[in-house]
Amino acid sequence: MKWSDVSTSGACGITGILNESGTRFSGKAVVVATTTMQPRYNGLGGGYAGYGIYPEYKDYYAFHVMHYDEESKRVTEEFLSSKAKVVKDEPIPTRHVDSISNSPLLWRYFVEVPENSSPQHVSWNQDDYVVSLVMYINSETKGSFVMSSGKNMGVFKAVGFPYDVATFYRIDEYAGYMWLGHGRYPTNTPGWWGGAHPFNILGTSVIHNGEISSYGTNKRYLEQWKYKCMLRTDTEVLAYLIDLLHRKHGIPLEQTCTIMAAPFWRDIEQMSLEKRELLRAMRMVYPDALVNGPFSIVVGINYNSPTMFGLTDRIKLRPLMAARKDDTVYVASEECAIRSVCPNPDSVWAPKAGVPVVAKVMEV
């Protein structure tokens, strides 16, 4: 039976692999793990994020951009060149794959941002400036969308099954210390190139299984902070929420997860006084950052120490498994995905609802 004949609704599959020593490994591993869950997908989206893949350009922001025609490419390149220094640009290497069609123009730009990038906003830094560039391109260029914009990392995504997307983007030719993989089964949003996972802003990339029923509230909240949700998929808000809370507001990662998957009020009232007061404060200050709906996510971050974490909603309506083998940590929708590349892990466990599994690179 062909993969294209499979019609089982598995509601997406997610995979994350991180080596805590910072050792770079081939993208083949995440492709195998993600492909193992093929019955969960329907071919309307697949993608990968690799961290540590551009060591020769690690000090530059790597923009992966899809352009839908030459005119949108021209306009975007003129805009980028007027706002920053483009050190190098080139097509993203691809292979011919019969099942991947209607490809946009796929380009990558290594960008240097001036230190005084936004003098009118004294609290801004270079990361904030890059966010503003991404928001402008996605909302104003009428045909260009930024797939990723972080340093020493990149997102590769398309409409197709995960294995075909990996073949198309030549993922086997890259090496990184952290990889995310996603296969999509969209249920209430369109299957299009920009709507495939991962979703990214700066060094934060998110892959997601489930639905965000709080999307409207989260979107309106993010718009107050100048984020623009233009990619017609609910997962986009997750990447921006994590960037806002963790990077911009400086909230520790574990507390960021607690804000997004906050315990119920009835559970908070049963906790110790110290925890109760902290959780009450977080829920009152950040009510619009609470993420409702069934979800499991895997997130890659290279802000400060490169980090991967997995998180489910507060009653775990979507599956998530984790494992460790020596200094490598695995997170996936299914244990079979992990065992396909790590047959004998040292430990395997099911993370608790709303409690993140966190792994960090100690050396890069």
Catalytic residues: 12
Q: How far is CA 169 from the centre of its chain?
A: 17
Question: Could you give the CA distance from residue 74 to residue 93 in angstroms, rounded to a whole number?
Answer: 20
Contact 238, 206 (CB under 8 A): yes
Contact 161, 231 (CB under 8 A): no
Query: Six-digit token pair at 224?
Result: 């107050």
Query: Six-digit token pair at 272?
Result: 């110790």
Question: Could you give the CA distance from residue 196 to residue 285 in angstroms, rounded to a whole number?
Answer: 32
CB atoms within 10 A of CB 339: 18
Q: Is 348 exposed, middle or buried (0-12, 13-18, 19+ CB in 10 A)?
A: middle
Question: Could you give the CA distance from residue 108 to residue 101 in angstroms, rounded to a whole number?
Answer: 20
Question: Could you give the CA distance from residue 67 to residue 82 in angstroms, rounded to a whole number?
Answer: 18
